[in-house]
Structure formats: C-alpha cells, structure tokens
Amino acid sequence: MRQYKTISVQKQEVAKIYCNGCGKLIPKDQHGNFEEVLHIQKEWGYLSKRDGEIHIIDLCQSCYEKWINTFPISPVINKNKK
Ligand SMILES: [Zn+2]
C-alpha cells in the first residue's frame, strides 16, 4: 500500500518572447496566447563549425517574411487540410 502526500512542484513557462530579428516583444492575445512566431532550436553536430552548440531563435512574422524573401529558393508551403 502506498500513501501519498501533496507536494508543490515548480515549473517554468514562457513569460516573454522577444524577436531575435528586430527585438520586438511578441504580444499576447486576450487569452494569453503569444502571437505566432517561428521558433527554431538547432543543435549543431559533429560535421559543423559549431559542434556542440545549441542555437535558439524566435522570429516575429514580419522578420520571417523579410528573411524568406532573401532566399533564392522559397520555402515549400503546404496547407493544412482542416
Ligand atoms: Zn521581428
């Protein structure tokens, strides 16, 4: 038989997001959800110049649009079938 007790556990949640491209604070809607951003987390591997580094980037929608417009090949865009 096991008896349980209640304990408090601390957890972290995202409090603020800043765009790495322009520095803007990403706003929340009335429900507390952040406006959509591009979030990238990349752990560079052995065959890179940044082996062992983890890079984390958030880009606002405006910076994302500017960034992809610099690409010689546009991103592949698929639409969700809802
Ligand atoms: Zn931005």
Does the pLDDT value for residue 82 go beyond 90?
Answer: no
Whose tokens are 């038989």? That residue is 1
State in Å: Cα 39 to ligand 1 middle. Answer: 12
DSSP 72: S
Q: What is the reported pLDDT for 56?
A: 98
State in Å: Cα 76 to ligand 1 middle. Answer: 21
**What average pLDDT does the segment 19-25 reach?**
98
State in Å: Cα 67 to ligand 1 middle. Answer: 10
Q: What is the reported pLDDT for 53?
A: 98
What pTM did the predictor assign? Answer: 0.81
State in Å: Cα 18 to ligand 1 middle. Answer: 8
Q: Show Cβ contacts of residue 33 under 8 Å, excluding neighbours closer than 6 positions.
A: none
Token pair, residue 62, equals 């405006």
Average pLDDT score over the chain: 96
Q: What phi and psi, each to the nearest 5 degrees, are found at residue 6?
A: -90, 130
User: Domain map of the chain by residue range?
Assistant: 14-74
- Tens digit of each residue's pLDDT (9 = 90 or more) over 28-51: 999 999 999 999 999 999 999 999
